[in-house]
A and B are shown apart, each in its own frame.
Chain A
Amino acid sequence: MFPINETMGQYSELFMLLAAGTYTVAFVAFAWDLAKSSKTLRAVDLKAAAAAKVPVAVGVSGSEQLPAAASAGGRTAGADMRYAAERRAPARVAVALTILGALIHGAGVITRAIGAGRVPWGNMYEFLTTGAFVAVVVFLLALIGRDLRFLGTFVIGLVVIMLVAASVAYWTPVGHLVPALQSYWLVIHVSIAVLSSALFTLTFAMSALQLVQSHRQKTLAAGGADKLGFMRLVPDALSLENLSYRINTVAFVGWTFTLMFGAIWAEKAWGRFWGWDTKEVWTFVIWVVYAGYLHARATRGWTGTRAAWLSIVGYLCVIFNFTIVNQFFNGLHSYSGLT
């Protein structure tokens, strides 16, 4: 057992605050990007429409415009989510700030680990700060191949909320692990859970956007006015659905491992692999909801909007499991670190 290093712990908290501040600015830049781009795009549209009296497809990069997008008069982003030629200065600033934030944030996570002399996920404060870090890293990695910058406002917004919640509601000073958590299964089980949750965070944002976009596409197809101009930066509902499905499959496999490794750990610690402890119940519920989501994707009449709702419900269960269940439900898993 390594000794506690309080100074490192304090550095870590400082880093967390700095990271939260940087992310907040990045968040503003992402939001600005959505607002500004929608304005420029509208101006371009108007000009083009005046010139040719035909609607202009915005996402020229999309080689495979799908019928749904086409019917919306091309007023969504490219379906393949590749980077387009046009420069979006605020978006670039936002991504740069996110990278900076992630570096500071990473320093915060590492100093926390050094301060406590163990993996930095032993209580709720640490789950949140480390989980938020993983979410940002996953998002940045996804940005390498795909232009998912339209998700920035939502993902970074959630990350800021997580960091603020960690510092305000769940703050816990560095400390040793209680004996129940002293196991290598903590490293395996919780890291996979955090990673899956980060992926679920991405798909949650995408599913929410999918619902909005699908509604907007319907309105546009019916000849309605485009009240949600900023959604032009977002791909059409079908491509959102397909990408979030792929990410959800990875997250689901991760969650299956979380469940299984949790059971193996429970067997080691308490002598039974499954006892319907509150935390186990909710892990199971989440698993079943996402299994339902995968089924929905293969059931006629359940793809699209309904599947998106299931993905959202699944994520709400993840949040519920983390916040309410950890704090207010009594169970064997009482390691929130709060008293």
Chain B
Amino acid sequence: MSEPVEDTNKSKSVEDAKASAALPALGFKGMLRWAWTQLTSMRTALFLLLLLAVAAVPGSLFPQRPANPAVVTQYIKDHPDYGQILDALQLYDVYSSAWFSAIYLLLFISLIGCVTPRAIAHYKAMRSQPPRTPKRLSRLPEYGTLVVPADAGIPASRAITDAAALLKKRGYRVEVRDVDGERPSLGAERGFMKEVGNLVFHTSLIGVLVSVAIGGLFGYSGQRILVEGDTFVNTLVGYDQFSPGTNFQSSWLQPYSIQLDKFDVKFDRESPAHFGQPIDFTAQVTTKENPGAPAEKKVLKVNDPVTLGGTSIYLTGNGYAPVVTVRDGNGNIALQGPVVAKLQGDNYYSSVVIKVPDAKPEQLGFAGFFLPTAFVTEQGVSFSGDPELINPQLSLNSYYGDLGLDKGTPQNVFELDVKDLTQLNGRDLPAKGITLVPGKTYTLPDGKGSISFDGIKKYVGVDIHHNPGQVSALFFALLAVAGLVVSLYLNRRRVWVRTGTHEDGRTMVEYGLLARGEDHRLAGESAAIRELLQREWQLPTEPAASDTVASTTTKDR
């Protein structure tokens, strides 16, 4: 069973309970002290731990803002009855919520309050001598005796110094008492590292927490989509989306650049069950540490980020970007270039939105789909039959009018707001929808312009992260594990040996062992020490329990 544990307030808690009944007499200081003992008790730690586990669960049940703000907005819209209430309870921001923070902060305060006194106590214990030799060693859980024959020439004093030397070699801290007296004895202790391990473990947890906090304060992250040929420069305007840490300053951004030269996807063509599933993504990039620095070729893959200027760049998404040319009603080119198609379904079935604010006299907009390998069912439903460009097709509806881009309200580039637009092409209109294959041009009705499908490029989505707390978090995590292992598998043990001379001249040796805490290998240690002593004095290593005085190992329970 566990040892009488550090539940220091156990016996006190009754008094404390009485005291709390008489609160006014306790005074402010007394109350603080009472609260502190409560908070730093083992039972509170256990309660807070279990509470932390429970409190973490809602974050997996409801969408979380930091991971996906759009989904949260949608969720609130979809659940008008309780969506707002959940928001008020911070259930979309569980891990930064007041209640979750309160729990882990209390836990860590409790931890500090628990660890500090233990560390001090342990430091004292390490510097003090092993406890005095008990009167009756036979009452210890492991106990044994040895007899050295008189002609061996080993008096009691020599026996005790021999035993001390052996135990020292075995890693014990030994104190010999009364060497020249009638009954010399020694006290020995080992396993101080167990408690040290426990302290290191708990302290490292604080280290991990602080490192994570540093990351949140001084880190940043952002996203960017790069079409083949595009270059990203690490400045605020270079990002499509940017989330700075609380203390972030834009001057920290090192203006490195990364250009996407080529992007390749390999698809599974072997297994019928997984046919067409992507099995490899490889992006060839050219990077420059600074605008003036020499260019370097690098490869960016999933699970294999590129590090540059203190940040890491990850490959997180990809897709096709059809290249189009749009001419306006005046016959001028109003837009030319790749348009990022957003993945919607299987086999790179993607949606396309093209906004042409520069078109004159009227602005133009297109919305529809891109299919790498177009198939149309008998019902007229189109789908993509393969992820590769076997029969690429753009099918679009077109609109003209005011795109609403000048109002200053930010718009989603992947959505076309058709409120103030008039539809030109569409399934239900006489002009029907636009279907384009590469190299073809479609002329819009009513002389509004034209759209050409020039070709197809690929794009990748990259996430860029800077987290200054990362290395120290890893360091403390490793330290925590080391401490944990030491604390769980080292044992703290005490050994006492006492010697004396029998009337007939034989030297009598008795020894006893005691463990602090649970120790299922104490009996093994006892046997090992016995064997060492026997070998030292060249005693016959009798098979256990053959001699009446030997091996009376018992458990005193």
Contact = CB atoms under 8 A, between A and B. Distances in A.
Given A64-B555, A274-B212, A295-B45, A268 B304 contact: yes
Contacts of B50: 288-289, 292, 310
B548 interface: no
A278 B94 CA distance: 12
Given A242-B520, A282-B60, A292-B53, 12 more contacts: A1-B280, A173-B272, A182-B279, A268-B304, A271-B314, A276-B64, A289-B50, A291-B49, A296-B46, A299-B5, A300-B5, A302-B46
A272 B465 contact: yes
A166 B28 CA distance: 62
A224 interface: no
Interface stretch (A18-26, A194-202, A207-215, A256-264): A256-264
A253 B485 contact: yes
Interface residues of B, number: 63
Interface string B447-487: 00000000000000001110100100110011011001100
Contacts of A54: none
Contact of A271 (B270, B280, B465, B473): B465
Nearest to B61: A329
B46 A295 contact: yes
Point out which of B268, B271, B301 has the most chain A C-beta atoms below 10 A from its C-beta.
B271
Question: 4 closest Cβ contacts across the A-B interface?
Answer: A175-B274, A173-B273, A271-B465, A288-B53
Contacts of B56: 281, 284-285, 288
Interface in B27-50: 42-43, 45-46, 49-50
- Interface of chain A, main secondary structure: helix
B218 interface: no
Interface string A243-287: 001100100110011001001110111111111111001101100
Contacts of B302: 179-180, 182, 269
Given A256-B484, A260-B481, A277 B67 contact: yes
Nearest to A337: B274
A93 to B, nearest CB: 31
22 contacts: A1-B279, A4-B270, A173-B273, A176-B270, A177-B279, A179-B278, A179-B302, A249-B488, A257-B481, A263-B477, A271-B312, A271-B464, A275-B67, A276-B94, A288-B49, A288-B52, A289-B50, A292-B49, A292-B50, A298-B6, A299-B5, A299-B7
A144 to B, nearest CB: 17
Interface in A143-194: 172-180, 182-183, 185
A159 B70 CA distance: 42
A179 B481 contact: no
Contact of B279 (A179, A263, A298): A179
Contacts of B45: 295
Contact of B277 (A175, A263, A288, A291): A175
Interface in B198-219: 212
A1 B60 CA distance: 35
Interface string B290-318: 00000000000111110000001010100
A266 to B, nearest CB: 10
Contacts of B14: none
Contact of A299 (B42, B473, B477, B481): B42
Interface of B: 1-2, 5-7, 10, 42-43, 45-46, 49-50, 52-53, 56-57, 59-60, 64, 66-67, 94-95, 212, 221, 268, 270-274, 277-281, 301-305, 312, 314, 316, 463-465, 467, 470, 473-474, 477-478, 480-481, 484-485, 488-489, 518, 520, 555, 557
A178 B277 contact: yes
A151 to B, nearest CB: 18
B545 to A, nearest CB: 11
A310 B49 CA distance: 12
Interface in A1-53: 1, 3-4, 6
B467 A329 contact: no
A82 interface: no
Nearest to B517: A298
A233 interface: no
A329 B46 contact: no
Contacts of B518: 242, 245
A325 interface: yes
Interface in A66-81: 66-67
